[in-house]
Every structure is written in structure tokens, then in C-alpha cells.
Amino acid sequence: MQHEKNNKEPRTCTSTEYGKSLRMDLCPACDKIFNQEENLTRNAQFHRERPVSGVACKKSFSHRKARTEYKKTHTGIESVTSTKSKNTVCRKINLSKYQKLQKDEKLYTSSDCCKNFSWNGIHSGVKPFSSIDSVKSVTEKDGIILHQRRSTGVKRFKCSECGKSFSEKGNFNMHRIIHTGVKPFSCIECGKSFNQKSNLTKHQRIHSGVKLFTCTECGKSFYQKAHLKVHQRIHTGVKPYTCKDCGKSFSEKGNLTMHQRIHTGVKLFTCTECGKSFNQKAHLKMHQRIHTGLKPLMCNECGKSFSKQTTLINHWRIHSGVKPFTCTECGKSFSQTANLTRHQKIHLGVKLFTCTECGKSFCQKADFIRHQRIHTGMKPYTCIECGRNFRQKANLSMHQTIHTGVKPFLCTVCGKSFRHKAYLIRHQRIHTGVPIINI
């Protein structure tokens, strides 16, 4: 008698603890279990392309070794039939188990949480059981095996590339695709490729504009449920990922991974132009703008462009007049924290930079560099109008007002203008009565 394959219904495992539905599909040809429909479809195609027929029941196999092992189960019996359901079963053990299930016997019990599992309901579709923690429906011994792995945390399948472990072979196989670099699923809108169909489905929501997941706190919507979960941590303040080295916590695992590179010193991202390495990809991208000259960030007030967001923010304070950094010693404020740090060295009396020629010391490196030009005679700033050279950029700027005719310093008393601030201060003494000292 020819073996008749059972069309087994997909088994669904639903947990109230996690609030999600886990689907498990059984291949009728090889009894493999899959948690994604596309994996089951690929497995079925594999059987069709490479059939190896059995002797006793005409069952087909994809591997000859599997057929050899399977033949041992027949022991001379071609087929046996259940008298209750008229379904043909090839193995004695399958028939025995099948008949017990028709009596509503629960063959498999989890030792961890006392969940009961059985095949009851193959014809009726009903899968009854009881559990203290959650509700799970399965129809075979494989169901309890998978369930026990999740409960005990056993992860049998380990990736030889990165060392990551998995409790289910299906998830392990999907993970291995990451290392091969194969991305068989492509978006027809933008051409972007993915290694899993589920990731492609999530990506396509960007083009469709569908945002199924909405935050109940602020109303913001997201394309993916995972993004909503991460966002909700802003409201709850939960930071589940903690650095074991310094104790700093993060709301996203990716941020923790990037942070840990500070402790390990690992710099995965290297500039192909100069060989400089970085621990974050974002830092490499900003660095590469030095070589490309790209300045995508523009000031709305003056149109000046910048390569970094932080530089633009610091520049914007020139227009807004905001100086959030204040010296606790004298109360002077600064628009940038670096300027405050340099200023504080004046109060501390720290002069780290000493001239080897004359022994004079300076608090700031910039002042030290300008001083050294006195000894070297270097004048790097040249006027494009007359060719005159200057040691300091500020001196060049004052000189250029001679050619442009600009007089930016205005006397508020008489309205007279001057090219240099020093000239204005000298002039204002006429109005104040302070005697002018000629040097």
C-alpha cells in the first residue's frame, strides 16, 4: 500500500507572558519544524528537486542516508492503518502514538513548568491543555523539546563565526546568512537587499508610509514594533543594557556595543585615505568629510557651511548671543566649553607652554604659537591686495580695512567712524575729558 502523507496543520504556540504568537510548521516529508513559512516552502522545494524514494511505503527523501535509516523502521511491514481515522501510518511507533492521541492521552509533560503536550485534536483542530503561566498549543513531541529549551535557556546551536548561540536550528540557519553576505530579498522600490524576508517586509513599510505602531504617551508612530519599544524607554527611563566595566547604562543594545569599544580599544572603522581608525562608523563618516570637503550643514543666518553638527551649534551661538558656559571665578561667559577651559587656566596660573628661546610661558597653546613667530620671523598671513605679510590673522584683518574702506567702529557721541578699535578708544577720550597720551 502506498504511503499517504498527512497534511498536518501548522502548530501555534501562544504565550500570555510575552504577548506574541510563535508559529511552528512541520514538513510532512521529513518531520522538520520551521518557525517561518518561507523556510518550510524552501524545504519542500528541496524535496521535490532531489527525491530519493523509499522501498516499503514509497516515501521520498532528499538524502540517501535518511532513506537507509528510515527503512529500519519498517521491519518488513509495508504499512499499517488507524481504524479510527483511516489514515495510513508507516511506522509501528507512529501508529501506536497516533492511537493513544485519539484517546486524549497527553504523552509529553514539561518538567520545568508542568505544561502538558499531546496530538489530541488532529481531526477536530482542538488542542486543549492547562498551564499556570501561559497557554501553548502544540501537536508533537518536538513542541515540548522546543518549549523546554526556551524554559531552561539551553542553546545547542553555536555559530562558529561569532560565537552566538541559538536554541532553535531555524534561527541558527537564518543567522548564518549574515556571515555569508547573501541578501536574496530585494526591494523593488529602492533596490536595497536583505538577508531575511521579514526584514524586507518591515523595510517596505517605509515606502508605503504605513506606521502600525503608535506610542500611547506622545502619539509618535513607527514602522516597526522594535522601534516603538526602544522609543518607549524614553518615557519609562528604562536602560536595560549596562556596561560591566564602568556601570553606565543604555536604552539600546547598539549604543552599549559602541560604548564598550572605548574600554576594549577596538577601532573597526578605518579611513581609506589616511588610515586613521575610529570606534564608531558615524565618526568615520564625519572624518571623511575632511578629505572630500563636504560641508552639508549650513547656518540659516549667514550661509556658512560646516561638516559637523557640533561645529554648527557652536557657530550658531555667535548669532544668538547665547553663552552657556560661565567661569565660576570671575563670572565671564563663553559660547564654547573649550574656550571656558582655556580661560580657567588664567585663574589657576597654569602655564604649560614655555618658549625655549626666551623662557616666556603661556596658558594657551595658540598664544605660544603666535609668540614663537617673533623668534622665527614667520609671517603666514598675506594681504592679497598689496602682498604685505603679518604674523597674526587679526593684524591682517585690520590692515585689509585700508583697501576696503570699511570703518566698523562707530563713536556713539559724534558718529565718527574708525578702522581700528584702538583708534575709536583714543578718540572717545576727547568726549570723556581723559587726557590723550602720545607714545
**Domains of the chain and any CATH numbers:** 172-235 (3.30.160.60)
Question: Hey, which bits of 16-85 come out as E strands?
Answer: 20-26, 33-34, 52-53, 60-61, 80-81
Q: What local confidence, expressed as pLDDT, does residue 121 receive?
A: 38
- Phi/psi of residue 154, nearest 5 degrees: -70, 130
Give 85's DSSP letter: T
In three-state secondary structure terms, 298 is: strand
Higher pLDDT, 23 or 17: 23
> Does residue 278 have a pLDDT over 50?
yes
Q: In the chain, what is the straight-line distance between the N-terminal and C-terminal CA atoms, in Å?
A: 122
Q: What's the rounded mean pLDDT across residues 367-388?
A: 91
Q: What's the rounded mean pLDDT across residues 239-247?
A: 91
Q: What local confidence, expressed as pLDDT, does residue 408 receive?
A: 85
Task: Encode pLDDT of 312-371 as tens digits.
Answer: 888 888 888 888 899 998 999 988 888 888 888 888 888 888 999 999 998 888 888 889
Nearest to 53 by CA among 67, 40, 39, 36: 67
Nearest to 48 by CA among 38, 37, 39, 61: 61
> Does residue 200 have a pLDDT over 80?
yes
Task: Encode pLDDT of 2-12 as tens digits.
Answer: 344 444 444 44
**321 φ/ψ sector (left φ>0, alpha ψ -120 to 50, else beta):** left
Q: What local confidence, expressed as pLDDT, does residue 214 receive?
A: 92
pLDDT band at 236 (very low <50, low <70, confident <90, very high): very high
C-alpha cell at 134: 501561559
Higher pLDDT, 97 or 236: 236
Start-end of H helices in 50-125: 64-71, 92-102
Start-end of H helices in 188-308: 197-208, 225-236, 253-264, 281-292
- Cβ pair 185, 193 in contact under 8 A: yes
**SS in 3 state form for 99-115?**
HHHHCCCCCEECCCCCC
Average pLDDT taken over every residue of the chain: 75
pLDDT band at 122 (very low <50, low <70, confident <90, very high): very low
Task: Encode pLDDT of 19-54 as tens digits.
Answer: 444 455 667 666 676 767 777 777 777 766 555 444
Q: What local confidence, expressed as pLDDT, does residue 246 receive?
A: 92
C-alpha cell at 108: 509529553
Q: What's the rounded mean pLDDT across residues 157-185?
A: 84
Positive or negative, the CA dihedral 204, 210, 211, 213 is negative
> Does residue 128 have a pLDDT over 50?
no
How large a percentage of the chain has pLDDT more than 90?
16
- Cβ pair 12, 137 in contact under 8 A: yes
Q: What local confidence, expressed as pLDDT, does residue 9 receive?
A: 45
Q: What local confidence, expressed as pLDDT, does residue 124 receive?
A: 41
Q: Is 138 exposed, middle or buried (0-12, 13-18, 19+ CB in 10 A)?
A: buried
Q: What local confidence, expressed as pLDDT, does residue 282 receive?
A: 86
pLDDT band at 291 (very low <50, low <70, confident <90, very high): very high
Higher pLDDT, 362 or 138: 362
Q: What local confidence, expressed as pLDDT, does residue 178 receive?
A: 81
C-alpha cell at 119: 496530538
Return the bridge partners of 33, or none. 26
Cα-based distances in Å from 385 to 381, 382, 396, 405:
12, 9, 11, 13
- Cβ pair 69, 31 in contact under 8 A: no
In three-state secondary structure terms, 265 is: coil
Q: What local confidence, expressed as pLDDT, does residue 101 receive?
A: 45
28/19 Cα distance (integer angstroms): 29
Q: What's the rounded mean pLDDT across residues 122-151?
A: 48
* Least confident range of 25-39, 219-233, 291-305, 340-354: 25-39
